[in-house]
Structures are given as structure tokens and as C-alpha cells.
Amino acid sequence: MVIARAEAFAPATVANMGVGFDILGLAVEGVGDTVIVERRPQPGAVMKSIEGDGSKISLDADKNVATIAANALLQQLGSDVGVEITLKKGLPIGSGLGSSAASSVAAAVAVNALLGEPLAREELLPACLAGEAAVSGYHADNVAPSLLGGITLTTGTELSSIRKLPIPANMRLVLVTPAVEVSTALARKALPATIPLKQMVHQTGSVAQLVDAIYRADVRAIAHAMASDEVVEPARAHLMPYLAEAREAALAAGALALVISGAGPTLCAVLDGDSDSEGVALALEKVYLSRDMGCVVRQTSIAANGALVLDSSSA
């Protein structure tokens, strides 16, 4: 049986989880990017169309992360199959939700499905990283949770350097994405080149506390550790509109913490259970709307499964 068409979805991510810069990330339930791949006579992957990006993303196969990931996978497999890609963006670019990682992951998963899934999900990591590297650098803090789901600890770019951590049952998230764009390059440029030893000790201690709290499923301790960043947030705070006001509003409405998601400007509120989710969402929305700034607010949780094959159809 020859599969002629395949469709895959890859979830958004919250990278860093506050204190875990470039090493921690989680997959977000219910929002992400979708890729449809269809066979074509000529070898290699090309971009057919992009929906939902406002014409901001290049159709050039050498510049689009989805086609780069697809071609990397075809090369990894030594395949001369040709595919054309339709990318449906559910995530805005420059949002801090792992947009480029989601596109890369969805493309690799869809192409693998089109070829009859010759590779296990974990084996798609190099191709996904190749796509992500074109925009955000060769690191897996977004790619790993989007591909594998849940919470991931990533200390390198090899599969052996990635660990899936337990998902605390009661941990809920409220995400607010202001209507501004923050590029990963700009956010990285804002970071300090060096940090004092005292800050390093505090930061590594907070990461250790966070991992410990995750294993104990202690959401309050998780939130406390996530909010303990003394290195990255202070350097990037000026890029996040109304960060202080949003944090104050979220905490007053019942959130346990509010941290920057990835490079921002999306902010992630952490809650213990669902009871305060609606109030936190409304409070965060009010912060931006009262200042004439649009925003998107999402009440969500951690996606356990990562990328999914939605459909595959035979010729």
C-alpha cells in the first residue's frame, strides 16, 4: 500500500519553565501547527502553501523550517520520495510558544507517516532539530516536548540527552500572548554574557528544586521554583509588555506564578487545579485590553502525547 497523503499535528511548547533556560520545556494541550504532506513526482520536499501566517513565512524550501525538516528526514532515510507540504499555522511566529519547533516537528512526523512510519518517533529528533536550527538555533528545549510530549529535560541534542519527567496531575496553565512579536534573536541578544557566581548558584539550585518538585507532583513548589529566575527574566523583562502588571493580576486572581514562555512575549501562569483558571484568564485579558493591546488567552494543561498523526490515506 502506497500512502499518498498524511497529516500531523505538533503542539506548542513553553520552553525554559522559568529557571531552566534551554534545558526544560513542556508541551501545551490543544494548540499547535498542522502539516499536510502529499506525494509529488519530483524528489525532495517543497512548500505548496501556508495558512494562518499572514504571509510572513517564506515558501522557499531552503528557508522554511517545515521543508528543511522534511528534507532532512528524507536525507536521513536515503529516500528519493517527493512531497509537497501544506502548513497550517496555529501559532504566531515570535510568540514564545515554539512556533518554529512545532512546524518542524509536524513536518517530520507527517513525512514519516507518508513513508509508512519507518522510524520511531524518537528517531525523528535530528530532522526536527535541523528545521528548528534554521530559525532558533540547534537546541531541543522546544523540539523535544513538541515531539515527545510532556515535560522534558534536555541537556544536549542527542536522544540520550533527553529525559521525560513526570506530569503533575493537577498542574494547569493559563497562557496570554500579547499582540506583539519578540524574535528569538532579539531575546537572546538581551541576555548577559556572564553572571556572578552567587546568581549561578541560585539558578542551579532553583532548577534542582524544580525537578524535585516535578517528581513529587508538588504544584506549589513547582510554581515557586519556576518563578525564581534571577538571570533570564531580568534581562528580557523590557521586551515583555506589561509583565509586572500581568503578574500582579494573575497572582491576585489565584495563579501561583507567572513566567515568560520561551523567548516571549507569551506569559505562562501556573495553577494548582482548574478552579481559578477562568478568573486568571479574565484578569490577564483585562491587563492588555484595558491598555488597548490585543491578546490571546488560553486555559490549558500539559500535553502528554506530543505530536500526533491525524490522518494517512492510501493512493
Give catalytic residue positions: 132, 184
The helix/strand/coil state of 309 is strand
Rounded Cα gap, residues 76 and 129, in angstroms:
13
Q: How far is CA 182 from CA 93, 128, 135, 189, 232, in A?
A: 9, 22, 13, 12, 15
The DSSP H or E segment spanning 73 is helix 65-77
Q: List, in sequence order, every beta strand (DSSP E) within the chain.
A: 3-15, 24-40, 44-51, 82-88, 151-154, 162-165, 171-178, 257-260, 267-272, 295-301, 308-314
How big is the chain, counted in residues?
A: 315
Cis peptide upstream of residue 168 (ω within 30 degrees of 0): no
Q: How many CA atoms lie within 13 A of 131 on its CB side?
A: 33
Rounded Cα gap, residues 191 and 214, in angstroms:
27
Find all residues with CB under 8 Å of 15, minimum gap 6, and list them: 22, 24, 25, 96, 98, 141, 142, 145, 261, 262, 263
- Asked whether the beta carbons of 144 and 154 are under 8 A apart, the reply is yes
- How many CB atoms within 10 Å of residue 77? 16
Helix residue spans in 217-258 (DSSP H): 219-226, 232-236, 243-252
CB-based burial, 251-277: b 16+ in 10 Å, e otherwise: bebbbbbbbbbbbbbbbbbbbbeeebb
